[in-house]
Chains A and B, each alone.
Chain A
Amino acid sequence: KNEVEQSPQNLTAQEGEFITINCSYSVGISALHWLQQHPGGGIVSLFMLSSGKKKHGRLIATINIQEKHSSLHITASHPRDSAVYICAVRPWGGSQGNLIFGKGTKLSVKP
């Protein structure tokens, strides 16, 4: 069983829709990352969180440590949001580099 599970694997949305991507994990963690990988391949860090909620522009990330679950929301989605979104967790006692990654959710936003 994968330690980090993302759902859905693929998601197609119409421009303007509200999008939710989910991440569940099975280990105790000290932090969770959300990353964005564009079709060109580059990976950008969106959020790092250990509790509660963070917001940046149209992106919102939440985490529930007790339930071992995090969500990434995109409001008013746009075609430029099309990318693969990756969840990664840092297990307790692990270094910053020692992360466990999900397989990613591929999002396509149609105009």
Chain B
Amino acid sequence: NAGVTQTPKFQVLKTGQSMTLQCAQDMNHEYMSWYRQDPGMGLRLIHYSVGAGITDQGEVPNGYNVSRSTTEDFPLRLLSAAPSQTSVYFCASSNGQTYNSPLHFGNGTRLTVT
């Protein structure tokens, strides 16, 4: 059981480049989310999804797009990378139908934009 798989682990981009961070889970979880973690700040929600075909914005959505075409996959797209998007990104999932369900996190993607 792989859990939540994020790729890549590390990425360096130049300003203006685009890329997609991949996230996949094999637990049939309905809820999936993307967070960014910056020094001195708590994790902040970028986008989330409550099921296939449904996405919504979180606290810091600007500069990012998501889609949820399948239950398993929830990719995060950076449209035109900026240095302010240098951060560590985490994908997480949980079974939203179960009240006492924990969050499952991927191992993170460390992104540097130069």
Chain A interface residues toward B at CB < 8 A: 2, 4, 31, 33, 35, 41-45, 47-48, 50, 86, 88, 95-104
Q: Are B42 and A103 in contact (CB under 8 A)?
A: yes
The distance in angstroms between the C-alpha atoms of A18 and B37, with both chains bound, is 29
Instruction: Known A48-B101, A104-B42; judge A97-B107 contact (CB<8 A).
Output: no
Q: Which residues of B contact A43 (CB under 8 A)?
A: 90, 92, 105, 108
Instruction: Known A96-B96, A97-B94, A98-B58; judge A42-B42 contact (CB<8 A).
Output: no
The distance in angstroms between the C-alpha atoms of A44 and B105, with both chains bound, is 7
Instruction: Known A88-B43, A103-B40, A103-B42; judge A98-B48 contact (CB<8 A).
Output: yes
Q: Are A45 and B103 in contact (CB under 8 A)?
A: yes
Chain B interface residues toward A at CB < 8 A: 31-33, 35, 40-45, 48-50, 58, 88, 90, 92, 94-96, 99-105, 107-108, 110
Q: Are A86 and B100 in contact (CB under 8 A)?
A: no
A87 to chain B, nearest CB (A): 9
Q: Are B101 and A96 in contact (CB under 8 A)?
A: yes
Minimum CB distance partner of A99 in chain B = B45
Taking a contact as CB atoms closer than 8 A, the residue among B32, B40, B100 that contacts A48 in the complex is B100
The distance in angstroms between the C-alpha atoms of A42 and B101, with both chains bound, is 19
Q: Which residues of A contact B96 (CB under 8 A)?
A: 95-96
The distance in angstroms between the C-alpha atoms of A42 and B90, with both chains bound, is 9
B58 to chain A, nearest CB (A): 7
Q: Which residues of B contact A103 (CB under 8 A)?
A: 40-42
Q: Which residues of A contact B88 (CB under 8 A)?
A: 41
Taking a contact as CB atoms closer than 8 A, the residue among A31, A86, A97, A101 that contacts B48 in the complex is A97
Q: Are A97 and B49 in contact (CB under 8 A)?
A: yes
